[in-house]
Amino acid sequence: MKPSEDWNEQTPSLAEKALGYTFQNKSLLKQCFTHKSFADNNHEPDNERLEFLGDAVLQLAVSESLYLKEDTDEGSMTETRKRYVSREALTQAAEKAGILKFLRYAGGEDTIGGKTPSNLFEAVVAGIYLDGGMNAARAFLKRYLEESEFCNYKSLLQEYVQERAKRPPEYAIRETEDGYGCTVRALGKEAEGFGKSKKLAEVSAAEKLLKLFNERTE
């Protein structure tokens, strides 16, 4: 949608088709797609409270699914859940569902950058939950939510290290014939990763060092 453009008569049904769910409460559907910038200008409720609830529904649904289908320890399930509910994963889910085009917002494109796609996905999850219950929310998540291919292992590694030391992980990048290599050092250990870009090399190295630490604690 263009900035400040409101829905027409066809928009609700098109949005529901993208979601794969038909709302009984059409006002709730509309609120799911109402950004604060639009709501403030038009004196309508925005979707920020829905985002709050949607985050909790996501955490519960993913936790329940992992508990039922994975015979792994708490630490492993926690790491997997982080990848499912990360901003990257939720952004991918919003794009896969094609719901961003229905967002009602005011201002330029910079208004809906950053966390907006993942926040919208959380709001929609909450709306479906309130309108149709947990089973409807589970069905929606099963359709669109996938484990992120770009889990931020760098953030996970930094969290792990900061719980045990003040000094953050150190990354050393070098060019290779096929891209880049990276050596990461932390807590007296190091690991090496490779990737087509510097970022992917760092992520690969961080993932390997995390696995090394996890092996030591098992």
**Cα-based distances in Å from 164 to 38, 77, 191, 205, 213:** 44, 21, 18, 19, 12
What is the residue type of 197? S
What is the rounded radius of gyration, in angstroms, for the C-alpha atoms of the chain?
20
Catalytic residue among 55, 131, 202, 207: 55
**Cα-based distances in Å from 53 to 12, 59, 122, 124, 146:** 22, 10, 8, 10, 20
3-state secondary structure 68-79: HHCCCCHHHHHH
What is the residue type of 89? A
Distance separating alpha carbons of residues 106 and 4, to the nearest angstrom = 5
Catalytic residue among 122, 131, 202, 207: 122
Task: Please say if 122 is a catalytic residue.
Answer: yes
Is residue 124 within 8 A of residue 36, CB to CB? The reply is no
Please list the active-site residues: 55, 122
